[in-house]
Structure 1
Amino acid sequence: MLCSHAYASLWMPPVLRMEGSSSVIEKNTDDGLQEVEEVSDVNVLTPIAGMVFNSEKEVFEFYNRYALQKGFGLTKRSTKNGDDGQLKYYSLACAKVGKYVSKAKNSYNPRPSMKTACKAKINVSVSSERKFTITRVYLDHNHQLSPGKSRFFKRNKNKDSSVKRKREENEQTEVPLCKNSHFIVEAGGYENLPVTGRDCRNYIAKAGQIRLGTGDAEALRNYFCRMQKRNCNFFYLIDMDGEGRLRNVFWADARSRAAYESFADVISFDTTYLTNKYDLPLTLFVGINHHGQTMLFGCGLLSNEDTETYIWLFSSWLECMGGRYPNAIVTDQCKAIQVAIERVFPCSQHRLCLWHIMRKLPEKLGGLSHYKAIKRTLKSVVYESIEVAEFEESWSRMIEEHNLDKNEWLNSLFTDRQQWVPVYVKSTFWAGMSTTQRSEGLNAFFDGYVGPKTSLKQFVEQYDNALKSKVEKETKADFASFHSSIPLITGCHFEKQFQEAYTNDTFKLFQDELRSMLFCNLVHLEDDGPISKFQVTDILRGKDGKPKRQVIYNVFVNEIDHELKCSCHLFEFKGILCRHVAKVLLEKNVAEVPPQCILMRWRKDVKRRYTLIENCYDDFGNNEQKLRYNTLCSHFHKAAEIGAQSSEKYVFLMKSVDEMIDKLISDINV
């Protein structure tokens, strides 16, 4: 067995790096993380009253550079024209100016808003000589600023000329592009690309079938060496047989390892690519971040699907994660995996993926004469049982009515019922990882990058692009939660608590519970000292929105220990306060929920360590020449656009470039 991983790094002095109109200080920390601190750039001036400009464009470009550095967006406000129709006065304000007024027809589901009534702005007056003077300046914002995410503001999404040109070249040469094209990387990476993924998809052609490739072993070795050069915390293990032949491989990059520290509560072990339509024998360790998005915690390539192989893989992953067990783990229904988990993760709660089990119904029961009736009954028993006794009674009745007592698969499911039936597992936290949508999301982690007949060499080439797209998606969600908020739908203060604390995606889930309170009826049963007991009748509805049945839940409120509990166990299962508890809080006129009801893992204001690891998946870290080349190309494209505007600019630029080329060739004064 070969092993290569590192747990320490040499200290390096801070390095000042200039990036456009801003500068940052990079620091290599003891654990291999790259910390980034923003530094004020002397080239970007702070606006002050009395500054004079020659055009409206100059004013905007000046203030926009300042806004980019500080981390806020711009909008034009309070425009006033004179009697002659000429512009006399206007303001450039922070994009969060004003108050939100919903114009949506469906107020039941309002759109996010960025408005915070921010007062930051500059006032500009225009003289009769067409001079633009800043008359008043308001610099203070009533919200946090995020310089690192300025590119997501609407006015900063202009596509760079080098990106446009690369896209045009790809179209002309009919280069097949994957879901997130290579030209994104060549433009300097996501963090330097002034467009979002949705913008890019408008320019990217659909990829065709990926052909089989050769050189898999060499590609894998080169990838591991490249990743360790970028960050010494990259981890991999290679398992060889007695004759020196490759059997199994496991790896996890530095960012994935650091992310596990924040989201070690629930992981899913996904073998989709090992068992489905893909030839690639790939297994994934996947988790859920604070937006409910999937995160990768490691990959494995396996030569076999027996217990011994899974024990090796799980042990390798556990070593990679510093011996920290996951609180809970979700897997497919596989005896070899179950045995391996019992040995390697004895302290973890193990659950079988409900979606994987239910999708096997046609395969396991499709040949039975009353298959449709059995399927309908089985789904009702699994999804609609509220109590354990109710499930077991309904299951026994189903087995008896359809003469299924000798069906081995159903018998095995009943034996393992505590590991997959919702009524048994709802008291454990699973971050909501049980729905069909979530399962499909996990299985599709590399969709768009891995297809039928994908070779290992091709997968390695696409691996970085796939993970970069995940990082970009999370960055966009962070930006949305940081700079916009979902409008409140009730007048209760505790809704605002969750709005201010949780990410937008998580807050939407809580608002879904608030909407469902409309179908709940409350009865106060009794008070036993500090403990109050309530009974909430919930009218459950089907997919068509029509009432399906009534279910009674019990809610307990302990005012001394500040505990809120409901028999539906939604909070224990998903970390979201349920509608039954919310109904009681409204009845008791509670202003704020206890701190323990707001989980840290869903908060948007937590600084998580893994976000400090920058450019983990970029190829430029080990290819300085390529980085310099692409940076120069970006600047030259911009210069060419300006130089082509007039003959004078063209002549000046050509002369300057020719002089620079002569100096570079002769190495004079360079």
Structure 2
Amino acid sequence: MNNSLLYNESSLPFNNTNNNTTETTLYQGKIFDTWQQAFDIIKVKYDRVERNPDGTFRKRTIKCEHQGTYIAKSNEKQTTTKRIGCTWYINLSEPQSKNPFKHVYVTTFHDTHSHILNPSVIQFGNNKNIPSEIMKEIKFLTVQYKMGATTQRQYLEAKFPGQIIYNEDLYYAIQNFRPQNKNNSNDAAKLYTRLLLSSQENPMWKVAIKFDDNNTLTHLFWMSPSQLELWYQFSDIVVQDVTCKTNRYDMALSLFVVLDENRNIRLVAQALLIDETKESHEWSFKQINLATNNMHPRVIMTDSDPAVHAAIRSTFVTTYPMHCTFYISQNLIKKLQKLLGKKFHEFSSQQFTAGLYTSSPVESINAWIKSYIFNSNISLCELANIIDKRQFSEDKNYQLILWKAAIPCISTHVSTSTFMFSSIDKKLEEYLPPAILELQRNEIRQCVFYDAMQVNQEIINEFDEYNLSDQYLKNMSDARQTTASCMIFDVNKEQITSMWAVSVGNKLIEKHFIILLSNNSHHCSCLSLINREIVCRHYFQIMFRSPIAKFHIRLIPSCWYYKNKDPSKEPFLVATKFEEISIPSIPESNIPFLTAVNHSTLHDSITQHKRLTDIQLYGKIAGLIQKVTMKAIKKKDVRIINILEDYLKDDENIDNNFEDLESNLDNNFGDLESNLDNNFEDLESNKENQSHVLKNPNKQKKSKGRPKGTKRIKAFYEKSSAISSGNSKQYKCSHCGNMESNLDNNFEDLESNKENQSHVLKNPNKQKKSKGRPKGTKRIKAFYEKSSAISSGNSKQYKCSHCGNMGHNKRNCDQINSI
């Protein structure tokens, strides 16, 4: 802290922080009314202090800030110090006796400085100090908003325009308010105790913990009552992701996210894992099964982590694991962009990403959590507080949406849904929240851009007879016929009442097919009821054309309704123009959701995955057998027959041995299980006698250097110039011209093996152009030296060096021969 200095008694006044100058002199025996009055005048470093039993000051020694000497902690760094041994000091005292007004007296005053007093330095220091009001603002912005120095400076300069704030003072203040020291208390035990108390107060809290033999925390899972309710209602599609660097122990934070009826992101479960292995993810998934009574989600979307995928397959047996398209698209860019070239953009934009989803909802929560974290050095309790703050924010947003929906209001314009489907629009507004209601109304608005035509029975029979199993993908040229056949296969054929083809209004080609069933449900090839769980625009176009197509609120799943809504007694509805001729009807069976898919033809996801794997394996084996068979026939080779017969014999022997092994395992498993039970009981009894204290998880430290058992990666100049025999690629050195080496290979061991090197890489020589023509080349003749007359047999021209004429040389010169 920068404090002002005291001047001597005769000449210099004291300066306060308000820049008001008052003549104040100090002398032995001076009296102050209060301690605060003395401290306001004497602004120097405090030293010795004595207090009364009630905590108030009794004696106080004040010294100059230049007092004493500085003892250096290290001799390596050259530093400076303000402690130059000044001997100025003053003693203040509040006597207990004969002091009814509790005055403060100057008992000792040594008014001698060992340095020069500069009033301008003191004045500048007083003005330079950050006032307490601004310090409160800095503390608030640093602790509550995690605001950096640049943003804080802009805020403070706008709020306090007359105050000069220096960078080093602002940096020091921000660093002072940031949490620096780690809390050495048992962080894991505190968090688990807090969650355990919550579960005891409310049994709807679900908490699970796992620790190792040293009582060190390895896994922690918890779900609040509101999260449990959200899981029961919206767990059809769950997005899972793992984020790191959220705590000082490097534990991975696994988050589970769903979308509620307002299409908002809701956090439904969280877990802290010591690592990201398959076993850790399996443990967290099993805790979800225990908390939700094995209520598996229909689809889980992940970030393509093989460990998470394997854990889902082993824990959520009825769940379909779906990978985030962002990571798949990145792999496509890596694998296909070079092969497809200019067609890659068309492939990625029209064929791959259409209709697929990403894990962006959980990624946004990861970013939200990390925005409240200074760094990765926070404790587990602080991380849990941030997660609680996130849930509180979600609940507040949900209450805001309910408040907006409760305000009575009407539309200022006549919409398509109100004009063409008035009764349906009223029913949708009664049951659906604003977000889902807007999605459904948008589908109704889009229906006017489509056209529908009923398909006759002959074409339906043709679609039914179309056998997909006998077709290969490259032979399926008619996508229209393939789509219709798949739709008929998915539903009960006896319930089909009619089939419609839907096309865009400005085209004649069918875009989608819709099958109407006898239970007043439907099945559209766009699969909107399955993918988005809302009624599609194509069905509303058919409703506008035929009274047979009817709407019921149970076509939309009940998870999108307002709470406490019972649609069991709601009638079927038709378009507005068919209301007078249509007879109202109520569904006969009380089912929560009208579905058109024949569940008897569907299999669970694991069976589908295994079937797909078998098909891929069959295709691979069939392709290899076909190649081998053609080669064997061409070469008249009968060894392939013996190989196949030996494989069948070996397979029969393996099956027989497996049956014997299975029977032996069944006999031994009973004995092993009983021994394990006895040992486990002994272990539990021994644990009861030990004092268990839950310990903080061990931080995963990365060792310096390369891992043991791995080779060091050589730098580019350390690569050997020798090429292995298996590599046929040859190099030519641009420096020496030799083969089997290049310029990079000649860098190896330049410093240590210079004597053994055949050459040492040097800087390139500057290319100098020599005068005249290069040796071994002919002189280029000028244009006037070329003869206009070219001989018929030889185009070469000569010039005589004796007479200078063209056409002959000195040997054939007439002048020389005539002499």
TM-score bin, normalised by smaller chain: 0.3 to 0.5
TM-score, L = length of structure 2: 0.39
Greater gyration radius:
2
